[in-house]
Amino acid sequence: MHRTSTRVILSCAAIGVGGGLFAAGAGYAAGLIAGIAPMLYGITIGSHFLPSAVALALLKRPGVGILTGFIAGLVGAAFAPHWILRFLGTGLLVGALLELPFFITRYKNWSPWLYYVAAGASGLLLAAGTFIALGPEHYAPWFWSLYLAMFALSPIAFTWLGRVIAASLARAGVARTLTTGR
């Protein structure tokens, strides 16, 4: 059985709290965007990818994406309890989806392209789910094109931002003794 140190768990918690605060704010912004310009709603979905992307890129350990996503969901739900299922479910789902390619490679390959493939595929999966749930007949084709593009691109953009944040934290020496050296 693999043991995870308390420092790794606390690092996930710290990243999750920061990401959860950001996601809570993005959740309220999403409500505003849905009311004003619903075709741009997909921009906000990427905010859920940020904490898991930071944790995976910084710590490079199994399970940190899922744990951090869950903690971010808990924190986001504390600020928006009416969206508790949305925050918890999305945090867990996004953490698992981002972690999937690393799981497949048995956590031996941390190539940057794996982050973006995972984020893009996850965005497309979420886009397909909303397309089916909302029904294609309710909006014009131009609306769906923009809406689905935002769902696909936003996770990639926020994953890139998460990797940039993780690189900055690594340069500052934040996770020097926590990474596996891969």
Q: Which percentage of the chain shows pLDDT scores above 70?
A: 96
Q: Are 55 and 70 in contact (CB under 8 A)?
A: no
Please check the confidence at residue 182 and state whether its pLDDT lies above 50.
no
Mean pLDDT on 94-119: 96
Give whole-number Cα distances, 166 to 42, 128, 157, in Å.
Answer: 24, 29, 14
Please check the confidence at residue 179 and state whether its pLDDT lies above 50.
yes
Q: How confident is the model at residue 72 (pLDDT cuts 50, 70, 90)?
A: very high
What contacts 7, CB < 8 A, 6 or more positions away? 177, 178
DSSP category for residue 139:
S
Handedness of CA 93, 78, 4, 60 (dihedral sign): positive
DSSP string spanning 61-95?
A: -TTHHHHHHHHHHHHHHHH-GGGHHHHHHHHHHHH
Distance CA 154, CA 46 (A): 5
More confident residue, 3 or 128: 128
Q: Are 147 and 133 in contact (CB under 8 A)?
A: no
Mean pLDDT on 78-83: 91
Closest CA to 66 of 75, 77, 78, 55: 55
- Tally the residues of the chain: 182
Distance CA 66, CA 96 (A): 5
- pLDDT per residue as tens digits for the range 122-157: 999 999 998 899 888 988 999 999 999 999 999 999
pTM recorded for the entire structure:
0.92
Distance CA 87, CA 31 (A): 14
State both tokens at 124.
Answer: 């497309």
Name the amino acid, one letter, at 181.
G
